[in-house]
Structure 1
Amino acid sequence: MKLFFLTPLLLLLATPGYSQSKAVKKTAGQSLAGGYTVSGTLKNAANRKIILTENSFYKTKQHADTATANAKGQFTFKGKLDEVAFYGLSVEGKPGRQYFYLENSPITIRGNADSLWAIRITGSKEENLRQSLEKMMMDTAIANRYKRAELKYGNARATNDAATMQAALKEREEAVRQDQVRFKNFIAAHPNSAASVNVLGVLISMNDLAGADSMLTRLETMPIGKSSQAQFFRQQIDLMNRLNVGKMAPDFAQTDTLGNVVKLSSFKGKYVLVDFWASWCGPCREENPNLVQTFKTFKDKNFTIFSVSLDNNRQNWLNAIRKDRLTWAHVSDLKGWKNDVAQQYGINSVPANFLLDPTGKIIARNLRGAELSKKISELLQ
């Protein structure tokens, strides 16, 4: 098993993992006077199209705008936002994209179109705060805690040292706990910031639902707590609370690889791991060997796995099942992140899973590797 810490939501906003501008209603409480002006100069961008695209995962549409740089690589965007939003800047014919918070203020961009990752963006208070948060997240000492736990676990697994494996898991859990405290402290220090709302997603990714709920309740007393993103997280948290340990898992049905409809309720009487994954998801594929081993060990002891794929390409889905030797039930509607079951279960990142008891009650969430095997073993003793 490769231990991994879910990349903070702050760094995932540009990915389809959090799909989903029109300018939305004025809800965030920011002053709209004057709108925004983005003035930029990029080397090696002469006469090229500059593209500004919103990447607000919590909205159903993404606003986009274009401008053509002059012979000196200069360009300008003007507009008016109803609230702070996350945008990406790209240059036609050039690799990469740079992301930043756009707000109603004069913003300046300087750099080289051949290295967009290094361009300098000034003038946005929210972007300055996001950058400081990113530095905090990428702190080498913090990252090393996870690396050490991962290495320790990997070495112990190679020698089947169960005690050391468990110790490594506990080290990772402690690192996660310390990070959760840091993120909550950040929110408390910046209670009316879009960056703080964004951190709620990090807490959710770290399975600190209670912490995210508590911090959001705090933010909801501020103007930013009425923003589209805050409202999205409120919906997600409320949904996830309905899917907490101790709750009954909602039934669902989708088609399997042969086109047959399979219901979750058809597995009642067994312990079932409802696994959300996708062929394109690296961490999912890394975790699959552990699922295979767990399934082999317990499949004849009243346990099974029921996988829901967030793929949108049938052949890729089938190839991954075959290549990874996943011999249990698989379903998908091939809608990608809009998979009906994924939305029903509030899935915003994969891998994700729910362990159900024989009655269909949720008894654990997001168990992986040794944690999953240990839990199943305890239940079937």
Structure 2
Amino acid sequence: MKRSISCFIALSMLVASLPLSAQQKTNTPSKPKNTTVKSNAATTAGFVITGKISGLKEKTLVSLTDINNPTDTLAKAKVTAGAFTLKGKIAEPNLYQVNYHDAQKKSVLFIGNEQLSLKGDVVNVQEIKATGSKINDDFMDFQGTFNPLFKRLTELNAKVASNPSIDRNDSVMVAYTAQFTRIQSAIDKFLNDKKFSPVSAFMLVVTSELEQDFSVLEKRYASLEPSFKEGFYGKIAKQQIDEGKVGAIGSEAIAFTQNDTTGKPVTLASFKGKYVLIDFWASWCRPCRMENPNVVNAFNKFKDKNFTV
């Protein structure tokens, strides 16, 4: 199955609106943290989804598709007495959707090759309950934890953005900073609690833009299981980190060669060991030209301290 990062970008924007519909197992004791939890995905050759959904018309089509590539149909079945069975094989645990074609509704699942059941009413598709998938339960935990946090951060961000001159000690700014910190703590806790779940790699991708310190992102990425690093979301997480480090504060500058005013090629490497200010400007750019005297002043002030422009 081919997946595109552009499709995933749209997906990540929709995460907060996905249904919280998995049935909670209140009578099952919680498993110890940081221990491998075996699910049906490890013992089943393929997936089997059995559905009992009221409101579906007889003989109408139900299918399972890749949410990142909706044209990729993994299984399909006809409804008989409100029931259906979807069977197939998934390359790796990921987000998929069950499509109720006649009703033009769908259920979102994060599953692998597992046996699970769907039960509910197509009229209230977001209330359809999924049971039997440990991976999907982890995804529901992700939503239950982060949806409220994201919602509150979005509300506070709107207030901050509406006041460009807001002071860092303003109550709204203080609340925004505190909420941001809560999310960072929740990310680390989720990675620790769900270390052996493929949802952890998904979570890392969705939340990556909330952390600008790439040493933190690298540490989180390193905590993933090796197989998750090689999966769809693990590869995206690695790409995000690698691309984000280019030009980041504290990272090694990109090597380049540029001609000086006399046409002589000059390499950045030739300034190794010096403090170097690189100023990109154009002769036709008025703000750039207005800044030129400040650059000259900086050079004159620090040129005797191993500094150059």
Asked if Structure 1 and Structure 2 have the same fold, meaning a TM-score greater than 0.5 normalized by the shorter chain, the answer is yes
**Aligned equivalent of 1:348:** none
Distance (whole Å) between structure 2 residues aligned to residue 236 and residue 147 of structure 1: 26
**Aligned equivalent of 1:39:** 50
| Map 1:340-355 → 2, pairs under 5 A | none
**Aligned equivalent of 2:229:** 225
Q: 1:165 to 1:249 in 2, by over 3 A?
A: farther
Q: 1:8 to 1:232 in 2, by over 3 A?
A: closer
Q: 1:249 to 1:96 in 2, by over 3 A?
A: farther
Partner of residue 301 from structure 1, selected from 275, 282, 287: 287
Is this contact kept in 1: 2:16–2:147, CA < 8 A? no
**Aligned equivalent of 2:63:** 51
User: What per-residue deviation string (whole Å, max 9, x for no partner) do you get for residues 148-184 of structure 1?
Assistant: 5644663xx3xx7543797644542332222012111
**2:73 matched to 1:87?**
no
User: What per-residue deviation string (whole Å, max 9, x for no partner) do you get for residues 30-67 of structure 1?
Assistant: 6353321100011121221112111247xx98444321
Ranges in structure 1 where 5+ consecutive residues have no aligned partner: 1-5, 16-29, 251-266, 271-298, 304-356, 359-381
| Displacement of 1:136 | 1.0
**Aligned equivalent of 2:12:** 9
**Aligned equivalent of 1:241:** 245
**2:208 matched to 1:204?**
yes
Partner of residue 109 from structure 2, selected from 84, 100, 112: 100
Is this contact kept in 2: 1:8–1:202, CA < 8 A? no
Is this contact kept in 2: 1:13–1:55, CA < 8 A? no
Is this contact kept in 2: 1:146–1:175, CA < 8 A? no
**Aligned equivalent of 1:174:** 178
How many residue pairs match? The answer is 233
| Displacement of 1:203 | 2.8
**Aligned equivalent of 1:65:** 75
**Aligned equivalent of 2:134:** 125
| Displacement of 1:145 | 5.6
Q: Secondary structure at the match of 1:196?
A: helix
Q: 1:124 to 1:34 in 2, by over 3 A?
A: same
Q: 1:81 to 1:144 in 2, by over 3 A?
A: closer
Distance (whole Å) between structure 2 residues aligned to residue 11 and residue 189 of structure 1: 24
Q: Secondary structure at the match of 1:138?
A: helix
User: What per-residue deviation string (whole Å, max 9, x for no partner) do you get for residues 186-213 of structure 1?
Assistant: 1011112111111111331213452332
Distance (whole Å) between structure 2 residues aligned to residue 32 and residue 301 of structure 1: 65
Is this contact kept in 2: 1:37–1:105, CA < 8 A? yes
User: What per-residue deviation string (whole Å, max 9, x for no partner) do you get for residues 88-111 of structure 1?
Assistant: 112113244221112222110111
Distance (whole Å) between structure 2 residues aligned to residue 61 and residue 96 of structure 1: 16
**2:151 matched to 1:147?**
no
Q: Match of 1:301, as an amino acid?
A: P
Q: 1:234 to 1:36 in 2, by over 3 A?
A: same
Q: Match of 2:66, as an amino acid?
A: E
Q: Secondary structure at the match of 2:223?
A: helix
Is this contact kept in 1: 2:67–2:96, CA < 8 A? yes
Q: Secondary structure at the match of 1:34?
A: coil
Partner of residue 269 from structure 1, selected from 281, 284, 300: 281
| Map 1:300-319 → 2, pairs under 5 A | 300-302=286-288
| Map 1:21-32 → 2, pairs under 5 A | 31=42
Q: 1:300 to 1:164 in 2, by over 3 A?
A: farther
Is this contact kept in 2: 1:50–1:90, CA < 8 A? yes
**Aligned equivalent of 1:24:** none
User: What per-residue deviation string (whole Å, max 9, x for no partner) do you get for residues 238-288 of structure 1?
Assistant: 2222242465599xxxxxxxxxxxxxxxx9406xxxxxxxxxxxxxxxxxx
Q: 1:91 to 1:173 in 2, by over 3 A?
A: same
| Displacement of 1:7 | 10
Q: Secondary structure at the match of 1:163?
A: coil
User: What per-residue deviation string (whole Å, max 9, x for no partner) do you get for residues 277-326 of structure 1?
Assistant: xxxxxxxxxxxxxxxxxxxxxx85239xxxxxxxxxxxxxxxxxxxxxxx
Q: 1:301 to 1:124 in 2, by over 3 A?
A: same
Distance (whole Å) between structure 1 residues aligned to residue 107 and residue 119 of structure 2: 12
**Aligned equivalent of 1:186:** 190
Larger radius of gyration: 2
Q: 1:236 to 1:146 in 2, by over 3 A?
A: closer
Q: Match of 1:50, as an amino acid?
A: V
Q: 1:85 to 1:143 in 2, by over 3 A?
A: closer
